[in-house]
Amino acid sequence: MLEGLEGLYQDALAALQKAKSTSEVEQLRVRYLGRNGELTLLVRSLREVPPEERPRVGARLNAVKEALEAEIRTALERVRADEERQALERDRVDVTVPGRRRALGALHPVTQTIEEIVDIFVALGFEVATGPDIEDDYHNFTALNFPPDHPARDMQDTFFVDESYLLRTHTSPVQIRVMESRKPPLRIVVPGATYRHDDDLTHSPMFHQIEGFLVDERVSMADLKGVLTYAMRELFGPETRLRFRASFFPFTEPSAEVDIGCLICGGQGSQCRVCKGSGWLEILGAGMIDPNVFAAVGYDAEKVSGFAFGLGVERVAMLKYQIADIRTFTTNDLRFLRQFV
Ligand code: FA5
């Protein structure tokens, strides 16, 4: 038995020295010291050894078992250290390699302009509302007091989806949607895309507007002038001058078109190409909400009044950044877009 034991010990030592991984060492541990391991079986067969030899054999068995356990621990430490070294080698990071630059995107200049304008009104206590791009005739025209034969309803201005639906031509239908579902007082701004059959240097088939309206008791044209003057000065600078010109919209009475003093020539006019010599640039439409609009949403025009305005976002961005052609916003030329990062 002792011979077998010595042979087993030598084999185990040789095998442990060759082991290259923790799993190989673990397999050897099971093979020799597991519940049915070779050494365990020898220990179990000690009772078959004649009693007089048992102490000597037993002592040797114990010694070999302890030695083997120690060898296994040593082998484990060795292969673990090897494995760790290999893992470090494999995952080594060369910090001197130049980094790969990530192409970071940025907000589109039209989006930046929308955010800037909306922030000005939010600071004044306005809430943001939105509505659908695909509208029905009622909200886009009828409830806004457009007569049935108004030219804006014409196929040449409006993109119709089918008999009942169209791509909204302005953000004003959201006035109706908000007033239909809520009661005054209201202070609302509505940023959104709008669509018209238009295409030239200053007109795009898809463009953006920001609608604003305020409904309460005793709202006057002076409130409209005050709010717009403040907002435009925040947007274009404290020296900005505003001019209100009488105009017409079916949904406001009285109505005004609002010009700002030309930013390019400082209102001097004469040779200026941007304001075409007038010293003024048109920037938005506005007015006092027409009583017929209040009637359409069930408000009592004797009790409430309100103002509304609609601003062309691309037009504002063109003035602010002195852009000559509205189409540069949608041609995705990175040389143009990178100027707004
Ligand atoms: C309106 O759309 C009215 N809904 C504005 C309004 C709201 C008036 C509330 C009163 C009360 P208008 O058609 O003028 O009005 O358009 C408003 C602005 O949108 C214009 O001043 C212009 O800046 C911009 N705009 C109009 N058509 C285009 C276009 N095709 N491309 C780019 N901007 C446009």
Residues 61 and 198 in one domain: no
Residues 6, 52: one domain?
Answer: yes
Statement to judge: residues 81 and 226 lie in one domain: no
Give just the sign of the alpha carbon dihedral 150, 154, 158, 164. Answer: positive
Ligand 1 center–CA 214 separation, angstroms? 18
What is the 98 CA–ligand 1 centroid distance (Å)? 50
pLDDT number for residue 156: 67
Do residues 274 and 188 share a domain? yes
Our count of domains for the chain comes to: 2
Would 103 be classed as within a structural domain?
Answer: no
> Beta-strand (E) ranges in the chain?
127-128, 134-136, 165-167, 186-195, 206-216, 242-249, 252-261, 280-289, 305-312
Q: Assess whether the C-beta atom of 38 lies below 6 angstroms from ligand 1.
A: no
Residue 203 near ligand 1, beta carbon < 6 Å = yes
pLDDT tens string 52-76: 988 888 888 888 889 888 889 988 9
**Residue 326 falls inside a structural domain:** yes
Pocket lining: 191 vs ligand 1, CB cutoff 6 Å: no
Atom of ligand 1 nearest to the CA of 255: 10
Q: Are residues 186 and 319 in the same domain?
A: yes
What single-letter amino acid sits at 260? I
pTM for this model (two decimals): 0.73
Average pLDDT, the chain: 91
Tell me the average pLDDT across 93-111. Answer: 90
Quick check: 192 and 209 in contact, CB under 8 A? yes
Ligand 1, closest atom to CA 198?
Answer: 30
Determine the structural domain holding residue 76 and report its residue range. Answer: 2-90
274 part of a folded domain: yes
Q: Is the pLDDT of residue 207 over 70?
A: yes
Residues 123 and 214 reside in one and the same domain:
yes
Instruction: Among 30, 60, 90, give the residue marking a domain's end.
Output: 90
Residue 251: helix, strand or coil by DSSP?
Answer: coil
Shared-domain flag, residues 165 and 49: no
Q: Band the pLDDT of 269: cuts 50, 70, 90.
A: low
Of 130, 135, 185, the residue nearest 160 (C-alpha): 135
Say what angle helices 22-33 and 54-90 make with each other, to 10 degrees.
170
Question: Is residue 102 scored above 90 in pLDDT?
Answer: no
* 42 ligand 1 Cβ < 6 A: no
Q: Helix, strand or coil for residue 78?
A: helix
Say if ligand 1 is within 6 A of residue 174 CB. no
pLDDT in tens, 209-259: 999 999 999 999 999 999 999 999 999 999 888 999 999 999 999 999 999
Evaluate whether residue 116 is within a structural domain: yes
**Per-residue model confidence (pLDDT) at position 155:** 64
Q: Are 275 and 331 contained in the same domain?
A: yes
Residues 28 and 161 in one domain: no
> Is residue 38 in a domain?
yes
Measured between alpha carbons, how far apart are the two ends of the chain, in Å? Answer: 84
Q: Quick check: CB of 170 below 6 Å from ligand 1? A: yes
pLDDT of res. 47: 86
pLDDT of residue 158: 92
- Confirm or reject: Cβ of 315 under 6 Å from ligand 1: yes
Question: pLDDT per residue over 133-181, tens digit each?
Answer: 999 999 999 999 999 888 877 766 899 999 889 999 999 999 999 999 9
State residue 274's pLDDT score.
67
